[in-house]
Structure 1
Amino acid sequence: MNLLFSYGTLQKEKVQLETFGRILEGEKDFLLNYKLDYIEIFDEEVLKKSEQKFHPILTYSGNTNDKVEGVLFQITDEELQQADDYEVDSYKRIKTIFSSGKEGFIYVEK
């Protein structure tokens, strides 16, 4: 099992159902030293699933006062690949540690 931190559209049930074929289980957590920005999405498939033209994106700030709230979802290796396929080229996946001390993946600005 993998932990994937969602701070945006992957929290939507419609996106989860269309990307993973199920509703994901997770718990709230926080990510320090990051802030949210927004990017415009042009990928038709992602626009159809998310129904949002602008998606949040994490940017590393290094400022300990910056904190992003999200949900840590438990997903399989196959679902992690499906999440990679869902995210547009502006994102890259990295591993990090959350406020809870758990380690998991986040999508950040490329």
Structure 2
Amino acid sequence: MPKLFSYGTLRQDAVQLAAFGRLLAGRTAALPGYRLDWLSIVDPAVVAASGKNVHPIVRYSGQAANRVPGAVFDISDAELAQADRYEAADYRRIEARLDNGERAWVYVAAE
């Protein structure tokens, strides 16, 4: 079962219902070595689901002192594909180690 780390809109109930058709139960975690930034979103479906046209995005810093707080969710392969469809082209999905030792998929800046 895939794990998905979210630091942004995928933690919102409305987004989870729109993207997955259910609410996800998450655990607190953090992503070390990244810093939080902001991104303007133009996809009307994403803006409608989140209610926001500016979303958080993380960028690799390589500095251990940088940590992005969030939540890790257990999801299905089909839900991971749904998350891929939700995220804008400015994001890419990578696997990363979280501060709690778990490995999870996370959407980071596509740079």
Give TM-score, length-normalised by structure 1: 0.99
Supply the distance in 1 between the matched residues of 2:73 and 2:80 (Cα, whole angstroms): 10
Give the length in aligned residue pairs.
Answer: 110
Structure 1 runs not aligned, ≥5 long:
none
Supply the distance in 2 between the matched residues of 1:63 and 1:97 (Cα, whole angstroms): 14
Q: SS at 1:46's partner residue?
A: helix
1:14 alignment partner in structure 2: 14
Supply the distance in 1 between the matched residues of 2:9 and 2:30 (Cα, whole angstroms): 16
Q: CA deviation at 1:26?
A: 1.1
CA RMSD of aligned residues (A): 0.5
Supply the distance in 2 between the matched residues of 1:83 and 1:6 (Cα, whole angstroms): 11
Supply the distance in 2 between the matched residues of 1:74 and 1:90 (Cα, whole angstroms): 24
Superposed, which structure 2 residues align to 1:49-68 within 5 Å? 49-68=49-68
Q: SS at 1:81's partner residue?
A: helix
The one-letter amino acid paired with 2:80 is: L
Q: CA deviation at 1:23?
A: 0.2
The one-letter amino acid paired with 2:106 is: I
Q: SS at 1:85's partner residue?
A: helix
Supply the distance in 2 between the matched residues of 1:84 and 1:67 (Cα, whole angstroms): 23
The one-letter amino acid paired with 1:3 is: K
2:101 alignment partner in structure 1: 101
